[in-house]
Each structure stands twice: as structure tokens, then as C-alpha cells.
Structure 1
Amino acid sequence: MQLDWSALGEVAAVSTGVTVGVVVVFALGVLGLSRAEDSRDGATVSYAAAGLCFLACAAVVAYGIYLIVPQFHS
């Protein structure tokens, strides 16, 4: 058995990067919700930004499920 170490490293780097990215975007969404509750002036913008952050996280999760489930690839 032989391992392609460069491919393994590439997969590890990409998965780590995407994981950190999703966590950061989710944290920005939580921050947007927190700021919307604190401030009534820019609440609409904060809610919209938080919604976009959560939508981006949901899209990444949906894409991951699409890649894992083979019935979606027919």
C-alpha cells in the first residue's frame, strides 16, 4: 500500500481551511445578531448580514452533504 502524501496534505489543508472559514462566518453571524439586539438604528442591516452569514454556512453544509450522498450524483 502506498500513500500519496501530497494529496493527503492537500485534503487536510483544504478541510482545515474550510472548517475555520465556516466557524468564522458563523461567529460573524452571531455577532451580527448580538449587535442587532443592542442597537435599534442599524438593526435591519445587522439582521441582513447575520442572515447572509447563516445562509453561507447552510450552503457549505448542504454542499458537503451533496458530496457525501451518492444518490445525488445520478
Structure 2
Amino acid sequence: MTERIQACLDGKISRSELTPRELEELEELEETIRTSLALVRGARLPDLTPSVMTRIHEFRARESEPRRESEARGKRAGV
């Protein structure tokens, strides 16, 4: 893609300022963009909320449990 085609995509120059070859390339790029967006929009994404929330609750439960004396000694000793 040339800088001129990018400028056209960005709205900085109009399509009428492009050469026929640039216009052809622009149309190909626009079709690629449309196709890609259609695939992304049509994709069903999994709901990760339950899994993430379960892990958060498990983490918090572990963090709130009192440490065993041996674990506490090991942490203090740098083990």
C-alpha cells in the first residue's frame, strides 16, 4: 500500500486524486477490510467471565487462609 492510498483511507485525500492503478488497489484493500471485519463480527467469542470469577474467588480464598507455621518459617528464611 502506498502513502497515497493510506491517505485516502484516512480521508486526507479523495478517491478522485488517485491514479486508476491506485484506485484499483484501494478497492482491493477495502474488500479485504470488509471481509476481515465480517469474519471478526461474526465470530462467537466464549464468555470467560465464569472461569475468571472462579479463579479470582479461589485465589482470594487461598490468600485469606492462615499460613502454616512451616510455610511462614520458610518464607522468613528465604526458602
The interval holding the TM-score normalised by the smaller chain is 0.3 to 0.5
Give the structure with the higher percent helix.
Answer: 1
Task: Mark the structure with the bigger radius of gyration.
Answer: 2
Query: With structure 1 as the length reference, what TM-score do the two structures score?
Result: 0.38
Query: With structure 2 as the length reference, what TM-score do the two structures score?
Result: 0.36
